[in-house]
Amino acid sequence: MNFYELAKSRYSVRKFKPEHVSQEELDIILKAGHVAPTGCNFQAFRVLVINSDEGAKKLPLCTDSHFHAPTALLVCYHKKECWYRKKYDGAPCGVLDATIVGTHLMLQAHEIGVGSTWVMSFDPEALRREYQIPEELEPTVLLVMGYPAEDAAPAPQHDTFRPLEELVSYETF
Ligand SMILES: Cc1cc2nc3c(=O)[nH]c(=O)nc-3n(C[C@H](O)[C@H](O)[C@H](O)COP(=O)(O)O)c2cc1C
């Protein structure tokens, strides 16, 4: 599978088998996140692995988009460690860092047959409370994941894309 085929065949899996993702496969997924590029190479991210019955049971307290997933990865950025665009407007790079890490995790998971849905609709305070997330970490990317159920299928709009010409401009907008 080339990269385009990998990216195109991924879809948001919202129905999972009950088994947790194996440690061996988690290691492969986490390794792909490890090599993600980050602003100034500060690597100001932390990944929380939720892969126990007890951990997974708390997901519904934090998000409606849990889909009864047996496993989840939460990528946080470190507010003090991340690069800031101080020279210009001071914007933090942390959300971008976490997003790139999350993308690596999601695509690597897909490549080895682990499905996921990227979830932004979560309550950050609930995540902090349930998983003891320290103040300096900002929960940014929640990937609920697991082995796709036999009847898991893409949402109907999954293959609907706006025309590329509408989204890409050359030289000026
Ligand atoms: C940044 C981001 C946030 C998302 N948040 C949610 C969410 O909170 N709940 C959910 O069910 N899906 C969420 N999704 C999944 C999108 O709905 C999904 O990726 C989109 O509809 C395209 O479908 P596909 O992933 O099957 O291609 C999110 C996706 C992204 C990239």
Q: What's the fold here for domain 27-147?
A: NADH Oxidase (3.40.109)
The pLDDT tens digits of the residues spanning 83-128 come to 999 999 999 999 999 999 999 999 999 999 999 999 999 999 999 9
The pLDDT tens digits of the residues spanning 39-71 come to 999 999 999 999 999 999 999 999 999 999 999
**Residue 116 to residues 41, 54, 58, 149: CA-CA distances in angstroms?**
27, 19, 18, 11
Q: Which residues share a beta bridge with 169?
A: none
Asked if residue 132 has its Cβ within 6 Å of ligand 1, the reply is: no
* pLDDT for 23: 98
Are 63 and 131 in contact by the 8 Å Cβ rule? The answer is: no
DSSP helix/strand/coil, 61: helix
In the chain, where does DSSP find H-type helix?
A: 3-9, 23-34, 53-57, 94-111, 124-131, 164-167
End-to-end CA distance of the chain: 34
Asked if residue 83 has its Cβ within 6 Å of ligand 1, the reply is: no
The structural domains of the chain, with segments of one domain joined by +, span 27-147
Residue closest via CA to ligand 1's atom 25 equals 12
Separation of 12 CA from ligand 1 center, angstroms? 7
d(CA 95, CA 11): 22
Separation of 83 CA from ligand 1 center, angstroms? 27
Q: Which residues share a beta bridge with 74?
A: 48, 142
Are 145 and 74 in contact by the 8 Å Cβ rule? The answer is: no
